[in-house]
A = this chain, B = another copy of it.
Amino acid sequence: MTVVEHVDGIEEQLGVYGEQIRAALSDALPDGEPAAWLYDLAREYPARPAKFIRPALCLATAQAFGATGDEALGPAVAIELLHNAFLVHDDIADGSLLRRGHETLHVRHGVGLALNAGDALAVLAQRVLRRSLDRFGASLADRIASEFEIMMLRSLEGQATELGWRRDTVIVLTPEDYLDLILHKTCWYTTVHPLRVGALVGSGGRAEVSPMVRFGFYLGSAFQIRDDLLNLVGDEATYGKEILGDLHEGKRTLMLIHLLGAAEGADRAVLRDYLRVDRDGRSDELVAEVRSMMDRYGSIDFATDYATGIAGAALDAFESAFTGARRNDAYRFVQALVPYMLERES
């Protein structure tokens, strides 16, 4: 099977899960007042094109562990709504301009209303989750609610560290620092939590979910490194965010951390200046210079190889984490997500 066929196959399956998720997502968003200042805003990001990788991973994992239908739909939709809440708040914190191919919420409506709509999305995520827990026993319900809370805190801890590195111009960073960051900021809610909750729901609470941390960490890292690479080399129309936006924001990606370790002499001085100024101080010329350094010092190749290595580790970790699962279509879908993380164009 070629890469293109593999990507097409995965995207087709994502589409099937996606239809189910989009309908449930819409049901979870109320039609209350004030529509023009709150609930219409809350609908904007969830209505934009999205792949729904997180909720699809949760649904598929549940099915691999014994769910026969949409038992995990509530927890899955809660993850997607929370993801949208994070996007709104991250876009404010980063001063981002584009999200999923359109203006960010705060650019369109101002910081105050956008911030508030993000808060509402987080509340609605937790409402969907709570309402879905009735179908589980009290012990499993409590376990899932607690997993959701831990996941929210891990994500906020990661976001704090990333913003802290930028605010305090932290320069001495290793690839391990980066991986620890994305374990918190990205992997926990993107992969670890959907996997753990999916396995718990599918197995009625009986699955051993601790191996999901390792698998989720490798899978989510491959996802995030690819995401950061697409920000440098992707096509804006497909990718939906500003190309080079991360470089304008001074985001500590694996490529930037590699470059900080590799650059010498005058290049090193340019990098220090680049990191010290804020977004407005990072001119297109300066960003282009840092971008070209990444080619010269091999930072793009380094990150690409790193992601490939991590995807290999993810395949091994998948075998252990899914030992107790059925070998059905859902199982094969989760397995195929590993190479897909490296091949996707958006």
Contact = CB atoms under 8 A, between A and B. Distances in A.
Contacts of A109: 167
A145 interface: yes
B38 A116 contact: no
A147 B90 CA distance: 29
A159 B130 CA distance: 24
A112 interface: yes
A21 interface: no
Interface in A194-249: none
A133 B111 CA distance: 35
B113 A33 contact: no
A21 B153 CA distance: 23
* Copies of this chain in the oligomer: 2
Given A123-B156, A152-B123, A153-B123, A34 B112 contact: no
Interface residues of A, number: 40
Nearest to A41: B160
A163 B106 CA distance: 13
A102 B275 CA distance: 30
Contacts of A130: 145-146, 149
B93 A115 contact: yes
A92 B118 CA distance: 14
A344 B288 CA distance: 59
B163 A112 contact: yes
A32 interface: yes
A29 B294 CA distance: 42
Given A149-B127, A157-B32, A112 B93 contact: yes
Contacts of A112: 92-94, 163, 167
B153 A120 contact: yes
A111 B93 CA distance: 7
Contacts of A145: 130
Interface in A153-174: 153, 156-157, 159-161, 163-164, 167
Given A38-B161, A93-B113, A110-B167, 20 more contacts: A34-B157, A34-B160, A34-B164, A36-B164, A37-B163, A37-B164, A38-B160, A41-B160, A92-B111, A92-B112, A93-B115, A93-B116, A112-B167, A116-B159, A119-B119, A120-B153, A122-B122, A126-B149, A127-B149, A130-B149
24 contacts: A34-B160, A37-B160, A37-B164, A38-B156, A41-B160, A89-B116, A92-B111, A92-B115, A93-B112, A110-B167, A111-B111, A112-B167, A113-B167, A116-B156, A116-B159, A116-B163, A117-B160, A119-B156, A123-B152, A123-B153, A123-B156, A130-B145, A130-B149, A138-B138
- Shortest Cβ-Cβ A-B pairs, 3 listed: A93-B112, A37-B164, A38-B160
